[in-house]
């Protein structure tokens, strides 16, 4: 019943230093070692046969290790398709700015660096989701713990709008380590360079200003290992929970690849196959149509000149 949509991952480059703590993290990567269940056929059937129009809508969570490209893929989805991305951080700031009841409760907690309780965070999220009953959406930043995941899942099911898709972006730990080890940044502008695929014209210097490049404080193997351990500790239980909800209409898929460009076609294939009501944004279609028209005109001009 399980289908693993995967592409091969490139190995760790020879000679790269990998500290012992990362070897332990790699060895304990249950997410990367086990396929998570997803059946595209079952996703289509649940959409077509349960008789609920709401089931045709994308109600989606996306998980991924730090540096796996989750943000890049989410942005591409929102740019191309009629999907609304909801950031819990943005929603919380909006409540505070508008002085809502939730905003007044959380403002002091945020100001003092305290932790907002799960039930309040659920209210922050669901207050907006209630307005998107017949819309496609992608939720970013929530849930982060198993308790939050169960609260969200129970709330949505009670309202007849359960999560339809949970995506786990699985990029090998070694590949992410390679990215951060090769990454350099020009701090004043935020321009990022990578020695593997986007090196500066002059080693160690920003292309535009000639100023020195630096490493981000968290771009080192030790800090990455700690972030990875936190990811496994919090996210693995969430993925196991959503895997157990497959028979209740929530599909879980793990997508493997070394880059966002490798994973993107897999993600598009799932959405286009399982959610026939999902449409491309009109402005995206117009841009593509215009590009096609320009290309066709250029080819026609070339053909005419050749004949002449």
> Does residue 267 surpass a pLDDT of 90?
yes
> Model confidence over 44-82: pLDDT tens digits?
434 334 444 445 899 999 999 988 989 889 999 999 999
Burial profile 86-125: b = 16 or more Cβ within 10 angstroms, e = fewer: bebeebbebbbeeeeebbebbbeeeeeeeebebeebbbbb
Count other Cβ atoms within 10 Å, centred on residue 49: 9
> Does residue 33 surpass a pLDDT of 70?
no
Q: How does residue 300 score in pLDDT terms, banded at 50, 70 and 90? A: low
Q: Global pTM?
A: 0.71
Instruction: Tell me if 77 sits within 8 A of 155, measured CB to CB.
Output: no
Instruction: Tell me if 85 sits within 8 A of 96, measured CB to CB.
Output: no
Beta strand pairing call for 137-140 and 59-64: parallel
Mean pLDDT of 184-206: 90
| Residue in the structure block whose two tokens are 């005419």 | 304
Mean pLDDT of 160-165: 93
Instruction: Note the pLDDT of residue 192.
Output: 87
Closest residue by Cα to residue 116 from 238, 124, 151: 124
Work out the burial of residue 202: count CB atoms within 10 Å of its CB; fewer than 13 is exposed, 13-18 middle, 19 or more buried. Answer: exposed
> Does residue 13 surpass a pLDDT of 50?
no
Helix residue ranges, H only, the chain = 20-27, 30-33, 40-49, 70-80, 88-97, 101-111, 118-129, 146-158, 173-181, 221-243, 260-274, 282-307
- Report the mean per-residue pLDDT for the chain: 80
> Does residue 148 surpass a pLDDT of 90?
yes
Mean pLDDT of 190-196: 87
> Does residue 273 surpass a pLDDT of 80?
yes
Closest residue by Cα to residue 76 from 297, 230, 280: 280
Q: How does residue 99 score in pLDDT terms, banded at 50, 70 and 90? A: very high
Instruction: Note the pLDDT of residue 2.
Output: 34
Instruction: Tell me if 26 sits within 8 A of 232, measured CB to CB.
Output: no
Mean pLDDT of 276-290: 74
Beta strand pairing call for 191-194 and 251-256: unpaired
> Does residue 14 surpass a pLDDT of 80?
no
List the single range of 93-97, 173-177, 249-253, 290-294 with lowest mean pLDDT: 290-294
Rounded Cα gap, residues 193 and 207, in angstroms: 10
Instruction: Tell me if 138 sits within 8 A of 59, measured CB to CB.
Output: no
């Amino acid at each position: 019943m399980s289908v693993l949509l995967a592409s091969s991952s490139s190995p760790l480059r020879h000679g790269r230093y990998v500290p012992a703590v990362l070897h332990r993290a790699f060895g304990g990567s249950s997410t990367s070692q086990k396929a998570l269940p997803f059946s595209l056929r079952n996703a289509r059937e649940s959409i077509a046969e349960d008789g609920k129009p709401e089931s045709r809508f994308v109600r989606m969570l996306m998980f991924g290790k730090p540096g796996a490209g989750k943000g890049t893929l989410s942005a591409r989805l929102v740019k191309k398709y009629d999907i609304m991305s909801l950031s819990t951080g943005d929603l919380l700031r909006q409540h505070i700015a508008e002085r809502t009841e939730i905003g007044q409760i959380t403002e002091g907690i945020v100001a003092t660096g305290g932790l907002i309780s799960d039930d309040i965070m659920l209210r922050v999220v669901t207050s907006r989701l209630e307005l998107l009953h017949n819309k496609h959406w992608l939720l970013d930043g929530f849930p982060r713990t198993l308790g939050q995941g169960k609260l969200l899942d129970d709330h949505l099911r009670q309202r007849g709008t359960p999560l339809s898709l949970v995506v786990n972006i699985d990029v090998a730990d070694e590949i992410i380590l390679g990215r951060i080890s090769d990454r350099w940044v020009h701090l004043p502008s935020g321009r990022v360079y990578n020695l593997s695929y986007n090196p500066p014209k002059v080693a160690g210097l920003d292309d535009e200003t000639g100023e020195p490049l630096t490493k981000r404080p968290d771009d080192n193997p030790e800090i990455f290992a700690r972030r990875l351990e936190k990811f496994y500790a919090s996210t693995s239980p969430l993925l196991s929970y959503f895997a157990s909800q497959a028979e209740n209409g929530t599909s879980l898929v793990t997508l493997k690849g070394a880059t966002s460009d490798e994973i993107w076609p897999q993600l598009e294939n799932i959405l286009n196959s399982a959610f026939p009501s999902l449409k491309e944004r009109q402005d995206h279609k117009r841009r593509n149509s215009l590009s096609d028209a320009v290309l066709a005109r250029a080819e026609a001009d070339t053909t005419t000149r050749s004949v002449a």
